Amino acid sequence: MGLPLSLFIFMPFLIVLSHLHLVFTLSSPFMQPLCHHDDSSALLQFKKSFIINESASYYLSNCHKVASWTLEGDKSDCCSWDGVECDEHTGHVIGLNLSSSCLFGSINSNSSLFHLVHLQSLNLSNNDFYGSHIPSQVRDLSRLIDLDLHSSNFSGQIPLEISQLSHLSSLDLSWNPCLELEKLSLRSLVGNMTRLQKLDLSLVNISSTVPNILANLSSLMHLGLEVCGLHGEFPKDIFKLSKLRYLNVRFNPVLTSYLPVFTWSSPLETLLFGETSFSGELPASIENLGKLIELDISRCNFSGSIPSSLGNLTKLTLLDFSYNAFVGNLPPSLGNLTKLTFLDFSFNAFVGNLPPSLGNITKLTSLYLDYNAFVGNIPPSLGNLVQLSYLDISHNKLTGPIPFELVNLPQLTRVDLSYNLLSGEMHFGLKNNTPLTSIVLSNNRLTGPVTFGPMNLTQLFNLDLSANKLHGQISNSVFNLKNLGFLDLSKNYLDGIVEFDEFVRVAVLYSLDISGNQLSEFPNFLRNQHELEYLNLSNNKIHGQVPEWMWNTSSTSLQILDLSKNFLTGFGHYPIFLPWTCLRFLSLKSNLFQGSLPIPPVSTFIFSISSNSLTGNIPELFCNLSSLQVLDLANNNLSGSLPRCLDNFGASLSVLDLRKNKFQGSIPYTWIRRSQYLSIINLSQNEFQGHLSRSLAKCMMLKVLDLSDNQFNDKFPFWLGHLPNLEVLILRSNKFNGSMETRQTYFKFPSMRILDISNNDLMGKLPLRLLENWKAKKFENVDSSTYIQEESYLYSARWEYYLPQSTYTYSMMMTNKGNIMFYEKVQELFTAIDFSNNRFVGEIPKSIENLKGAQLLNLSNNYLTGHIPSSLGNLTELETLDLSQNKLSGEIPQQLTQLIFLEVFNVSHNSLTGPIPQGKQFDTFENNSFEDNPGLCGKPLTKKCGNFDKAPFKHSIFEASQASRSPFEFGWKIVVIGYGFGFVVGVIIGPIVIARKHDWLMKTFRIRPPSRRRR
């Protein structure tokens, strides 16, 4: 049976349709080839090598991505798995994006990941691979175009094999701080990657220069080299890359370069150079970077003024020029940058008025202009910045009142106008529901009482009005500050907060500072405060005893309590231990406390009760204070001996000040044997006796040792000479004795700059060997505004902030300019040597010129002889030079006129001769500087040098008064009597002794028998 004719006619059309159906079927998205078995097996094996741990990723949105992989049910095709991309024609896995998948574990060289040889894109970022090295098998993924391993805790060397991935257009290994590129240079890494569009190695330890080869990567759009340890000069040709949009080399502090003149337009959108050593001026041609969105050149070395052309970068949203050396006025063109949200010009040297055009930048959320020299009023136009959240214009020279418009900005949360010259009355007339959390207006000239108009500052947490001219009392209309935690009203003229009760019923304070005011009593509202950590009522006029209700004020939270500089007389019936169980700082100094010593809690780090009228001993209970860092009991009437158990202070104690009391006995050997961190010991002006404890030699951190005005009876403690940090040693007015001449050369006192051993009984030649390591250069970089002190920082873990620091400042007594002077503070720059009132002999050596930098040199009241060395003229920093009451002879060297800072010069009571030098400082000295030197002549003496008296020189009255101390001189009467008596005795018994004790005489006086000459 034959086929119908019609079938033959339509057969060609049927064949064509069947082919079209086959093509449609193969190309349909619903009929893609399934994932290859080898790929799905490799993926599942890769999954099993990790655990899913939420702590392994910053973002948790993808933590279940890998967990969903399975071959069961309708998910058997791995191409449908989360994060997996397959080739639509071959079915091979070509993309794997497991970013933020909470993977925790190691990747090793046997990982099945490297079986996915068709991969073109691999993203394993933001996981935790537990310090794994990047395996060299990465070379097997030779088709990779994108490789992203950032923030995944890889470590070790970047393998050489990555440089073989020549198809890469994106390589991101950033934020793996344990990853290194030291064996493989940056040049070698990217040498074959000619297609790179993105290279980010931020926070990888590269430690090299930036190679010029990067400027050849013509496709590069993104370059991130932040925190890489880069050095050398950054290649300026990189700026010319025609496609570069993102350039970040921040936090490479020794990387140098400067911005070129931009004669070309650039696609740069982000330019970040912060905290490098880039320098120079900002070129006016920067306007050619018209697409810039972010510009950060903070903490560099840029200088010069800001070009007005900067205002043409109208796409900028971030501009940070802080911590540079820019000068001049801010250009008004900044007002054109209307898209800015962040502007920081702080820590520069800008001057002039703030341009009102800043008010045009209405999208600003953060504005920092602090630490400059801006003057004039705050422009009211800043009130237009309706989105501003942070405003800091502190540390300038702004004047006038605070604009009402400024403090009423609807989004403002923090405002700091401190350290200016702002004036006017302190009145808050804020609108309701303002979001302010911090107001800092300290160190201005604001006046009047503190009044708050009707408002609702429910978010305010910090209010600082300190160091103004506020007076009167705080208004009782403050009733909506329920979240206020920090209040600082110190250094004003407030005389009371009696009407503050309304406020404290809702506020829970953590920090309160009302120091430096006129308060006469404890504020009553403190009764209701139970969470205070910091309370400072110091420097007021509070009289009488501490009220008993204070025991319940924040008894379990208070950490710092400062009641110093008042007129307090006692604690009443206080318990054995003061009640604040968490107290770490307690200052009661400069009051009128009487009776026995109060005992702070065992938690105390710093305790100061100096300058009171306390009596009695140090109680044994003090030995429980095992965390003490500073113990200051100076200037009281305490007595008795030191408890031996004070060694319980242990390694924490850094300052011990018992100055000006009536303590007796010796220093127990045990109580400082564990105090290796002691920095300052001041036991001066007491009645200590005996020898020094050798345990002091274990205090390797010791900086100051002041034992002056006691009764120590010992040899000079050469054994302190090995202490590396000892700068101040004061042994004045004790009974130290014996020769200062020693053959021990290893006692070097390497850091000494104040040495006072005056008023003792020390002998020998001047002990300049103690100062062999004195170098003037040690003092060259010392800040003249700093003092010898110990600073302590107390941290509040509950609120994660540092409480106000505590500073102990060393005080001392010293003879200067002819008077005993009290130094309440001792400058770090001060240098002094006082050897006076001892029994030193011999000449002043020429080597004294090595004491360059010394400001005070006192060698008076000794037995020094010879000439005044001209080398003293090299001590050009000298302010006081006292050589009086010695036996110096010869002329005063003309070279001493070079001492242009010399204020006090004393050579009286010597045997000097010749003319007194004239000119410069010598024209300011009076007669008493030169008296009792009959051989001197010339101004200021009345004796003219033309009438020089050549009569034999007569000894001064002073020398006669010293005769009783001299080991070399005897009164003439005693000599005559001794001579006569000896003559009689010698005549009578001499022959007897010679006859009977001939051998003894010959041996004792080493008399040799006469030798016989050979013939």
Q: Which of 200, 226, 256 is the last residue before a domain boundary?
A: 200
Query: CA triplet 464, 469, 471: central angle to 5 degrees?
Result: 95
pLDDT at 58: 85
pLDDT at 750 over 60: yes
Average pLDDT value for residue range 481-507: 72
Of 235-239, 260-264, 310-314, 974-978, least confident by mean pLDDT is 974-978
Same domain (yes/no): 820, 848: yes
pLDDT at 964: 38
pLDDT at 593 over 80: yes
pLDDT at 779: 64
Phi and psi at 651, nearest 5°, equal -80, -5
Q: Which of 158, 183, 200 is the last residue before a domain boundary?
A: 200
Same domain (yes/no): 977, 887: no
Q: DSSP string covering 226-258, please?
A: TTS--EEEPPGGGGG-TT--EEE--S-TEEEEE
With respect to residue 236, please indicate whether it lies within any of the assigned structural domains.
Answer: no
Of 408-422, 438-452, 639-653, 959-973, least confident by mean pLDDT is 959-973
Residue showing tokens 């020398």: 959
Q: Is the dihedral of CA 187, 188, 190, 191 positive or negative?
A: positive
**Cα(267)–Cα(241) distance, rounded to whole angstroms?**
9
Residue showing tokens 């305010």: 460
With respect to residue 661, please indicate whether it lies within any of the assigned structural domains.
Answer: no
Q: Are residues 742 and 772 in contact, defined by beta-carbon separation less than 8 angstroms?
A: no
Average pLDDT value for residue range 930-942: 93
In 589-736, beta strands by DSSP E: 594-595, 606-608, 613-616, 630-632, 637-640, 655-657, 662-665, 680-682, 687-690, 704-706, 711-712, 728-730
Q: Are residues 248 and 270 in contact, defined by beta-carbon separation less than 8 angstroms?
A: yes
Two structure tokens written together for 247: 């350039």
Cis peptide before 643 (omega within 30 of 0): no
With respect to residue 850, please indicate whether it lies within any of the assigned structural domains.
Answer: yes
Average pLDDT, the chain: 85
Residue showing tokens 């001590």: 875
| CATH code of the domain containing 51 | 3.80.10.10
Q: Which residue has the higher pLDDT, 700 or 3?
A: 700
The pLDDT confidence band at residue 32, using thresholds 50, 70 and 90, is low
pLDDT at 981 over 60: no
Average pLDDT value for residue range 790-811: 71
Average pLDDT value for residue range 490-504: 66
- Enter the DSSP assignment of 261: P
**Cα(2)–Cα(15) distance, rounded to whole angstroms?**
20
Q: Which residue has the higher pLDDT, 39 or 798?
A: 39
The pLDDT confidence band at residue 156, using thresholds 50, 70 and 90, is very high
Q: Which of 183, 200, 217 is the last residue before a domain boundary?
A: 200
Of 111-115, 708-712, 808-812, least confident by mean pLDDT is 808-812
Q: Are residues 528 and 502 in contact, defined by beta-carbon separation less than 8 angstroms?
A: no
Digit-coded pLDDT (tens) for 270-281:
999 999 999 999
For the chain, state the CA radius of gyration: 42
Enumerate residues 6+ apart whose C-beta is below 8 A from 809. 787, 788, 789, 824, 825
Phi and psi at 833, nearest 5°, equal -135, 125
Same domain (yes/no): 986, 877: no
With respect to residue 956, please indicate whether it lies within any of the assigned structural domains.
Answer: yes
pLDDT at 1003 over 90: no
Three-state SS string over 769-803 comes to HHHCCCCHHHHCCCCCCCECEEEECCEECCCCEEC
Same domain (yes/no): 900, 992: no
Same domain (yes/no): 977, 862: no
Two structure tokens written together for 823: 């130094």
Which helix (H) or strand (E) is 439 found in, with range?
strand 438-440
Same domain (yes/no): 820, 840: yes
Count helices and strands in the chain by DSSP H and E runs: 8, 71
pLDDT at 818: 77
Average pLDDT value for residue range 742-754: 76
Digit-coded pLDDT (tens) for 194-247:
999 999 999 999 999 999 999 999 999 999 999 999 999 999 999 999 999 999
Phi and psi at 796, nearest 5°, equal -100, 105
Ramachandran bin of 368, using left for φ above 0, alpha for ψ from -120 to 50, beta for the remaining angles: beta
3-state secondary structure (DSSP) of residue 711: strand
Q: Is the dihedral of CA 786, 791, 797, 799 positive or negative?
A: negative
Average pLDDT value for residue range 280-297: 96
Residue showing tokens 């770490």: 584
Query: What are the angstrom distances between the C-alpha of 514 and each of 247, 452, 474, 531, 546?
Result: 50, 18, 11, 17, 16
pLDDT at 499 over 60: no
Query: What are the angstrom distances between the C-alpha of 669 and each of 27, 673, 695?
Result: 95, 7, 6
Two structure tokens written together for 529: 């405060």
Same domain (yes/no): 901, 999: no
Average pLDDT value for residue range 606-621: 93
pLDDT at 260 over 90: yes
pLDDT at 805: 66
- Residue 682's DSSP bridge partners are 657, 706
**Cα(570)–Cα(588) distance, rounded to whole angstroms?**
10
Three-state SS string over 862-877 comes to CEEEECCCHHHHHCCC
pLDDT at 72: 84
The pLDDT confidence band at residue 1011, using thresholds 50, 70 and 90, is very low
Same domain (yes/no): 952, 1000: no
pLDDT at 295 over 90: yes
**Where do runs of H (alpha helix) occur along 28-129?**
37-48
Of 132-141, 408-417, 783-792, least confident by mean pLDDT is 783-792
User: 74 burial class (0-12, 13-18, 19+ CB within 10 angstroms)?
Assistant: exposed
Phi and psi at 709, nearest 5°, equal 55, 55
pLDDT at 540: 95
| Structural domain that includes position 986 | 973-1004
With respect to residue 103, please indicate whether it lies within any of the assigned structural domains.
Answer: yes
Average pLDDT value for residue range 870-893: 95
Amino acid at position 381, single letter = S
Same domain (yes/no): 792, 928: yes
Q: Are residues 402 and 422 in contact, defined by beta-carbon separation less than 8 angstroms?
A: yes
Phi and psi at 761, nearest 5°, equal -130, 45
pLDDT at 962 over 90: no
The pLDDT confidence band at residue 744, using thresholds 50, 70 and 90, is low
Two structure tokens written together for 700: 């390797």
With respect to residue 893, please indicate whether it lies within any of the assigned structural domains.
Answer: yes
pLDDT at 801: 58
pLDDT at 231: 95
What's the chain's length in residues?
Answer: 1015
User: 313 burial class (0-12, 13-18, 19+ CB within 10 angstroms)?
Assistant: buried
Of 303-317, 430-444, 840-854, least confident by mean pLDDT is 430-444
Same domain (yes/no): 165, 85: yes
pLDDT at 747: 66
Residue showing tokens 């082919």: 19
Q: Which of 697, 628, 615 is nearest to 662 (CA)?
A: 615
Cα-to-chain-centroid distance, residue 984: 79
**Cα(196)–Cα(215) distance, rounded to whole angstroms?**
12
Q: Which residue has the higher pLDDT, 981 or 342?
A: 342
Amino acid at position 749, single letter = F
In 503-654, beta strands by DSSP E: 511-513, 534-536, 543-545, 560-562, 567-570, 585-587, 594-595, 606-608, 613-616, 630-632, 637-640
Phi and psi at 984, nearest 5°, equal -65, -50
Q: Which residue has the higher pLDDT, 94 or 65?
A: 94
Average pLDDT value for residue range 115-131: 95
How crowded is residue 698: how many other Cβ atoms within 10 Å of its Cβ?
A: 15
Q: Which residue has the higher pLDDT, 271 or 599?
A: 271
Q: Which of 638, 678, 636, 682 is nearest to 657 (CA)?
A: 682
Same domain (yes/no): 980, 856: no
The pLDDT confidence band at residue 781, using thresholds 50, 70 and 90, is low
**Cα(854)–Cα(730) distance, rounded to whole angstroms?**
16
- Exposure string for 546-558, b = 16+ CB within 10 A, e = fewer: beeebbebbbebb
- Residue 599's DSSP bridge partners are 577
Phi and psi at 988, nearest 5°, equal -80, -50
pLDDT at 444 over 50: yes
CA dihedral of 71, 75, 81, 85, whole degrees rounded to 10: 100
Digit-coded pLDDT (tens) for 521-554:
998 888 888 999 999 999 999 999 999 899 889 9
Digit-coded pLDDT (tens) for 347-372:
999 999 999 999 999 999 999 999 99
With respect to residue 314, please indicate whether it lies within any of the assigned structural domains.
Answer: no
Amino acid at position 246, single letter = Y
The pLDDT confidence band at residue 496, using thresholds 50, 70 and 90, is low
Residue showing tokens 């002091």: 696
pLDDT at 308 over 60: yes
**Cα(503)–Cα(572) distance, rounded to whole angstroms?**
29
With respect to residue 452, please indicate whether it lies within any of the assigned structural domains.
Answer: no
Same domain (yes/no): 977, 916: no
pLDDT at 452: 59
Domain count, the chain: 3
Amino acid at position 641, single letter = S
